[in-house]
Amino acid sequence: MVTVTIPAEVKELIAKRGIKEADVTDVVNTACQTGKYIKKGNDGLAKKVIGGLTVYVMSDLSGKGTAVVKSAYAHKMTLGKVVNVMAETDWKTKDGKAVSQGHVEMEYMTVKRNGPALIDAATGDAWVEEYLAVKTLAAAEGLFEKKRA
Amino acid sequence: MRHMAKSRIVSHDIPVGITVNGMSEVIGQTKGLCPKCLKTIPVTKVAEGDKVYLIKECPEHGTWKVLAWNGKEDYQDMYRYAAVQSKPERIAVKESGDCPQICGLCPDHVQHTCLVVMEITNGCNLKCPVCFASANQFYKFNPSLDVIRGMYQTMLDHVNHPIVVQISGGEPTIRDDLPDIIRMGKEMGIDYIEINTNGIRFAEDIEFLRRCKEAGADDLYFSFDGLQGEIYKQTCGRDILEQKLKCIENCEKVGMGITLVCVVSPNINLDRVGEVINFAKSKVPTIKGVHFQPIAYFGRVPISPKDEDRVTIPDLLRAIEEQTNGELRVDNFIPTSCSNVHCDAKSMSVVMEDGSLFPLTSRAFGPPKDTSSVATKTRKEISDLWRFIEDSLIVEEDDGKQNEWGDFVDRAKTHYLTVSMMAFQDAWTSETERFRNCCIHTVTPDGKLIPFCLFNINSMEGKTLYRHEMWAKYSENR
């Protein structure tokens, strides 16, 4: 377990995005227990599927036993199979293996299309970056929700 | 249908909800205009079966029974889309209580201006029998640039930004100084300018089209009644399909957007509306929308139109659903909540790569969350549908060029098609509550804004309340 701190301005951001603080804490704690997160410098990016949402938390892990949350975001799309793996990035797994840029299948309401993601080629695990989640995927999810209703 | 009343069909003392004579159920009361004398008279809305009628009673000219809507439950359901009433920022007429006899707007008006229609000529290079502007042939209205500048100033003084203007006529392209008029508006601060045109000159003179585009014209509001020459012979007096298609081709070349405007008549082209939509799809993104106008009776109409001469909004919606094989359904169309809820209906769809429509609007969503500021939206904004879409959506970081979700969202920004309709009021279908809710206003040289339908309405003998009066004041006699 780590001590998870959420600064006031980040609390405001995640509230605006409809993400609960308890879920943010849950994501970080789960990542620390399972070791399933990726790191770039002092930044750690963890994710967990909670109630149909994939929630991501970016934290500063420079302090021992602490995680200071820098941002959190989420998407409703389900990540599927890896479509391709391209160049390595500066992100690494907890074991120090390189994480690559690539594309994965993303499905929402039975519609599948590809999108860019950070990929652990060894496990096929993928992380969607913040810019994509809060803009493109949010827009697409919004458009599809209109169709379904 | 007009009756010389010996006994009253319905009394205005009967409360809403009461059935009269076992047939008609009173569902509302309002006021409207007598088709004969244009005086303000009481109107009772009654439902007979599934049809909604306006029963108008003039003490001088008798009783009129006019078909307003086909679908009683639907008619009443539309009220939940009613906009929050908002007074115009400034009004030109201080007196109230006499709607619509003294308009400009007056204190009784309850909606801001979202579109200003500015007529710059009453001349035309066609003589279409269905055109409301053909009613007056006795004046030559070609305002000077100074008068036009004054009309732009009226907009700037009375209308909040964004200010959307439709340059209209007659046919505005018969004026060689049209590019100067457009440029003037943009330099004065008008945000969006569209040209209401039959496209004949733009078909024949691509350089003139280009000059209008370069002067700042944003869009053509382009009359397009169908894809058969026979249709134009009936609506315009001659087959001009070739010119219509050439105009669209020229717009593609110069990058001018188009909204197709189709007047729908029950015996001419109601059975062809699906073809117009399919054609429009094939020309996206040049064509951005199709706007249907169920026929309204302007000009000299000595015999009152019958039910079968009318196309109500529900009739048109059902025709669209049938003729698009359900690609667009009735429930994809919602009132804009900008004007009166029985004036219009609109849908918006993404045109997918395979040419199919992906509708984004549905009555299942209910009314927009915020109807109080709907009048400030431009035609490019659809209330809360685009809240997630920003200009920075292009994913430049993606070297793999496989961001198909990004492509979809990008496509939605450009490859969309609005299909909409507006039922203009004529003297028979006029209701003061619709005038008061109206957000489309004609600007006059004397500094007034008048609801579009009201400005153009004429009696059975061709008398108007505003149009001829304005022309008489600011025109040369022919």
Residue A89 in contact with partner chain B when CB distance is under 8 A: no
Task: Tell me whether residue A27 is exposed, middle or buried, using C-beta atoms within 10 angstroms of its C-beta: 0 to 12, 13 to 18, 19 or more.
Answer: buried
Mark whether A49 and A91 lie in a shared domain. no
Instruction: Measure CB to CB from residue A143 to each of B360, B397, B398 and give the nearest one.
Output: B360
Which residues make Cβ contacts (< 8 Å) with residue B304, sequence separation at least 6? B1, B2, B35, B64, B428, B460
Query: Which residues on B lie below 8 Å from A103 (Cβ)?
Result: 400, 402-403
Between the two ends of chain A, the Cα-to-Cα distance in Å is 41
Mark whether A60 and A99 lie in a shared domain. no
Query: What range does the domain containing B9 cover?
Result: 2-81
Query: What range does the domain containing A123 cover?
Result: 78-148
CB-CB neighbours of B88 under 10 Å: 21
Mark whether B50 and B169 lie in a shared domain. no
Mark whether B149 and B205 lie in a shared domain. yes
Domain with residue B258: its CATH number is 3.20.20.70
Mark whether B77 and B148 lie in a shared domain. no
Mark whether B169 and B62 lie in a shared domain. no
Mark whether A40 and A88 lie in a shared domain. no
Mark whether B171 and B284 lie in a shared domain. yes
Instruction: Measure CB to CB from residue B408 to each of A103, A113, A146 and give the nearest one.
Output: A113
In this prediction, residue B379 carries a pLDDT of 34
Mark whether B62 and B148 lie in a shared domain. no
Instruction: Measure CB to CB from residue B402 to each of A77, A114, A136 and give the nearest one.
Output: A114
Instruction: Measure CB to CB from residue A132 to each of B387, B395, B402 and give the nearest one.
Output: B395
Mark whether B16 and B158 lie in a shared domain. no
* DSSP assignment string, A11-25: HHHHHHTT--HHHHH
Task: Quote the distance between the C-alpha of residue B232 and its chain's center.
Answer: 20
Which residues make Cβ contacts (< 8 Å) with residue B136, sequence separation at least 6? B122, B462, B464, B467, B468, B471
Please check whether residue B360 lies inside any domain of the structure. yes
Instruction: Measure CB to CB from residue B395 to each of A106, A136, A140 and give the nearest one.
Output: A136
Task: Quote the distance between the C-alpha of residue B276 and its chain's center.
Answer: 17
Q: How far is A106 from chain B (nearest CA, A)?
A: 8
For helices B404-414 and A138-148, the axis angle rounded to 10 degrees is 70
Q: Which tens digits make up the pLDDT trace of B26-51?
A: 999 999 999 999 999 999 999 999 99
> Is the complex ipTM higher than 0.90?
no
Query: Which residues on A lie below 8 Å from B385 (Cβ)?
Result: 142, 146
CB-CB neighbours of B234 under 10 Å: 17
Mark whether B119 and B45 lie in a shared domain. no
Q: Take residue B287 and report the two structure tokens written for it.
A: 């064509």
State the total domains in chain A: 2
Contact B359 A114 (CB under 8 A): no
Mark whether A71 and A93 lie in a shared domain. no
Q: Which tens digits make up the pLDDT trace of B338-394?
A: 778 899 999 988 898 889 898 877 787 667 655 444 444 433 343 333 433 443 334
Please check whether residue B106 lies inside any domain of the structure. no
Query: Which of A75, A96, A123 is at the close of a domain?
Result: A75
Contact A116 B402 (CB under 8 A): yes
Whether residue A114 contacts residue B402, with contact meaning beta carbons closer than 8 Å, is answered with yes
Mark whether B324 and B414 lie in a shared domain. yes
Task: Identify how many contiguous H helices and E strands chain B contains and give both numbers.
Answer: 13, 19
Residue B400 in contact with partner chain A when CB distance is under 8 A: yes
B364: which DSSP letter? G
Which chain B residue has the Cα nearest residue A142?
B388
Predicted TM-score (pTM) of the model is: 0.79
Q: Take residue A133 and report the two structure tokens written for it.
A: 């989640």
Query: Which residues on A lie below 8 Å from B388 (Cβ)?
Result: 135, 138-139, 142
Task: Tell me whether residue B446 is exposed, middle or buried, using C-beta atoms within 10 angstroms of its C-beta: 0 to 12, 13 to 18, 19 or more.
Answer: middle
Contact A84 B403 (CB under 8 A): no
Contact B393 A140 (CB under 8 A): no
Q: Which tens digits make up the pLDDT trace of B237-292?
A: 899 999 999 999 999 999 999 999 999 999 999 999 999 999 999 999 999 999 99
Name the 3-class secondary structure at B174.
helix
Mark whether A59 and A119 lie in a shared domain. no
Query: Which of A75, A97, A122 is at the close of a domain?
Result: A75
**Rounded CA separation B132/B87 (Å):** 28
For helices B178-188 and B145-158, the axis angle rounded to 10 degrees is 30
Q: How far is B404 from chain A (nearest CA, A)?
A: 5
Query: Which of A31, A56, A75 is at the close of a domain?
Result: A75
Mean of pLDDT values over B216-233: 96
State the total domains in chain B: 2
**Rounded CA separation B107/B101 (Å):** 13
> What is chain B's mean pLDDT, rounded?
84
**Rounded CA separation B156/B113 (Å):** 11
